[in-house]
Structure 1
Amino acid sequence: MFWGFELEFKQSLRTKKLWVILGVMMLLYVPGFYLQKSSGREIETVGEAISALINSINGLGAFFIGILAILIGATAINSEIEKGTLRVAMSKPIKRLGYIGGKFLAHTVVLLLALLLTTVIGIIGVAWLGAPITGKLVTDSLLLNGLLLLAMIQLVALGYIISTTVKSSSTALGVALVIMFVVFMIMPAIVQFMAAKDTLLTENPDFEAYQEKVKDYQTKYLFYVPTTQIDVILSDATVVRGDIGRPEIEYLGIGHAIRENPVNLGILLGLTLVYLGITFYRFLRMDLR
C-alpha cells in the first residue's frame, strides 16, 4: 500500500489540475478579502470570523475542490489502463487491494493539503479584517476542514466508480462534469423551489417554515450531495433570535452544529463507505488490460 501511496502522491502533486484550480481559488479569495477591507468592514468576534470562513471556504473553496476531487477520481484508474502503467504496477509484488488503497489514501492527503491551504488563506484574511486569533477559531476551522474533507473523500470515491465503469478517461471527465452540473447545481435548485412552493408561494408565506422545509428536503432528497449535507450541518452553527428588523445572532460553534445533526453526518460517512465498497469490488474484479 505504501508503494501505491508514494507513487500516486507524487503524481497528484505534479498534476496541472491541482495547481490550476488552487490558483483560481487564490485569485478569488484575495480580492474578496480586499473588497471587504476597502468597504470598512471589521470582524470583531470569533463567530463573525468563522461565519466569514464558512462563507468563503464552504462556498468557493468547496466548489472548486469538489470539482478537483471528482476529476481526480474519474481518471484514477482508466487513465493508467490507457497508458499501460497499471499493468506495470501490477507486475510488482503488490496486491490489487493494496494498490487501490494506497492510491485512494494519496488522493485524500492531497485534498487535505488543498483544504489546509485554503483555510490558512482564510484565517490570514479574517485576521487582516480584525478577527481575534483564538483557540476557538483554530478548533472550529479544523472541524470545518474535517467536514469538507469527508465531502471531498466522498466525491473522490464517486469519481473512482466512474473511472472503473467508463474505460475512456476523456469520456469519464465529461461524465464527471455532467454529474457535478446536474447533481450539485440543478437538483439543489429544484429542491429549494419545492420548499418555497410549500411555504412561501402560499396565501400565508412563512419564511421560518421555509428554512425548516429546505433543511428537511435537503436531508431527504439531496443525501447524495455531500456539500449540501455540510450546509445543513453548518446551518445550526448560529442561531438567530429577536425581531426580523433587529435580529440577535448568537454563534454556537461547529461542534454544536455537528452534535445537532447526527443524521447528516451519518449520511456523509455512510455513503462514502458505500462508494468505496463499490469501487474496491469493481477494481478487484475488473479486466486491467
Structure 2
Amino acid sequence: MLVLLWGLRLELKKSLRTKKFWAVVIVMLLLYIPVLYAMKSVHPFGREFTASEIVSGLISVTLSLAKFFITILAIVLGATAINAEITEGTLRVALSKPISRLGYITGKLLGHLVALFAAIFAAVVVTIIGVTLMGVDVTGSLVSDVILLNLAILVAMLEFLALGYIISLFVKSTSTAIGIAIVLLFLVSLMSPILVDYFAHSKAEQLTREKFGPNWETMDYGVAPYVQYNQSMNGTRPYLERQHKSPYDYLNEQYNRIKRDYEKKYLFFDPITQLDYLLGNLSEKVHVTITNTTYYPMVQEGPMMVADYKHPIKTEVTNTTEKGYCKGATYSGGSTTKTINGTPVEEVHEMRCYTMDVYRGVGYSIKQNLDRLWVLIGVTLVYLGIAFYRFLRMDLR
C-alpha cells in the first residue's frame, strides 16, 4: 500500500506540473465562455431556454469538450509514461529501492487517473457554475448526474491511457511515441468512424435502389401525395401529412439504422464511439403544441356584422406534449364565424409548435446502454493487461 501511495504521489506531482496538462485544461475551459454567452443571449423560437434544455445543453458541451481535449491528454500522458523514465534513467533508480515493478506501474496508473479526474472535474465545475448563472437550481439529482458523467468519461479516458501505455512500452523515443499516439488517435476515433459511415451509407443506398429502382434519385417526390386526417395532434383541427415516404426519407431511415448497427459491431475499440452510445440518451426530442382559441362577439356596424376584438368572450388555451419533432407546420392560424347558443361569434385560433430537448439524466442513459459500459471496461482491461505484462517482463536497461 505504501508503494502504491508513493507512486501515486510521485506521478500526480509530475502530471500536474507539466505545461501540456494545464495548457489543455485552460484551453478547454476557455471554450465555455462563448457557449455560456450564446445560451444566455440566444432565444430559440422567440423564447428563453427551459431549465431542462440548459442542463442538457451544458452537460452535452462538457461531454464534447472532455472527449476532445482530455482524450489527447490521456493518450499523450500514457505514451510518455514509461519510455521517458527509461531514457532518463529515473526508472532504474526508482526500482533500485524496495519497490516492485507491479507496485510501480500501478501507482503510476493511479496517479494518471487522478490527474485526468482533476481535468474532468474542472470542466464539471464550470458546468455547474454555468447552470447556476443560467438560473437553474443545483439539485441533488444534478450533482449525482455530474458524478456519473465524470465516471463515464474517466472509464473511456482510461482506455486511451492504457493504449498510450502500450505505445510507451514498445517505443523508446518519447517524441516518436507522441507522434504514434496522435496518429493512432486519428485512426481509431476519426478515420474508423468515417469508414463505417461510408459503408453504412453505401448499404443504405443499395437498399433504396432495390426498393425504388435504379433511377430513384431522379424520381420527382417534391409533390408527393398528401392525406388529410380528421383530427390533429391536439384534437382540434385537421392536418396534412405525406401519405408516402420519398426515397430520401427511406434512405435516411436505413442509413441511421445501419450506421448504429455497424458502429456497435465494428467500433468496439473506439472509446469515443462507445461513450457516445453510453451517454446517447441524456435527452429526448419532444414537441409542445400550444393552441390559443379566442371567441369575440359579433356586433352590427352599419350593414355588416363585425367582430368586437376589444371585448373577447373567452379564451381557451391547450398545451400538449408528445415525443419527436413537430408534425406539419410549426405555426398556423385563422378565424371562423359560428353561432354559440344562438349568438354569432368569431372564433380566432392560433397554433404554435416548439421542438425541444427534455433532459432525462446520465443515470437513465447509462441504464439504457449498459452493454456499451461493459464493452468499454472489457477493452480497457485487455489494453491494461497487455501493458502490465509487457512492463513486468521487459528489459529496462
Between 1:231-240 and 1:201-210, the stretch displaced more is 201-210
Distance in 1, Cα, partners of 2:257 & 2:326: 17
Secondary structure at the counterpart of residue 185 of structure 2: helix
Shift of 1:124: 1.1
Shift of 1:36: 2.6
Secondary structure at the counterpart of residue 93 of structure 1: coil
Aligned residues of 2:156 and 2:376 also touching (Cα < 8 A): yes
Secondary structure at the counterpart of residue 115 of structure 1: helix
Shift of 1:160: 0.2
Asked if 1:44 corresponds to 2:50, the answer is yes
Shift of 1:158: 0.5
Between 1:101-110 and 1:190-199, the stretch displaced more is 190-199
Bigger proportion of residues as strand? 2
> What is the TM-score of this pair, normalised by structure 1?
0.93
Cα distance 1:97–1:209, how it changes in 2: closer, same or farther (>3 A)? same
Segments of structure 1 that go 5 or more residues without pairing to the other structure are none
The one-letter amino acid paired with 2:362 is I
Cα distance 1:244–1:209, how it changes in 2: closer, same or farther (>3 A)? farther
Asked if 1:112 corresponds to 2:117, the answer is yes
Shift of 1:209: 4.0
Within 5 Å, which residues of 2 pair with 1:1-289? 1-40=4-43, 42-45=48-51, 47-199=52-204, 202=208, 203=216, 204-205=247-248, 206=250, 207-240=252-285, 241-245=323-327, 247=355, 249-289=357-397
Distance in 1, Cα, partners of 2:103 & 2:28: 33
Between 1:209-218 and 1:13-22, the stretch displaced more is 209-218
The one-letter amino acid paired with 2:16 is L
Structure with greater Cα Rg: 2
Higher relative contact order (CA 8 A, sep 6+): 1
Aligned residues of 2:78 and 2:163 also touching (Cα < 8 A): yes
Secondary structure at the counterpart of residue 31 of structure 2: helix
Distance in 2, Cα, partners of 1:71 & 1:77: 12
The one-letter amino acid paired with 1:33 is L
Bigger proportion of residues as helix? 1
Aligned residues of 1:97 and 1:280 also touching (Cα < 8 A): yes
Shift of 1:155: 0.7
Aligned residues of 1:50 and 1:140 also touching (Cα < 8 A): no
Segments of structure 2 that go 5 or more residues without pairing to the other structure are 209-215, 217-246, 286-322, 328-352
> What is the TM-score of this pair, normalised by structure 2?
0.69
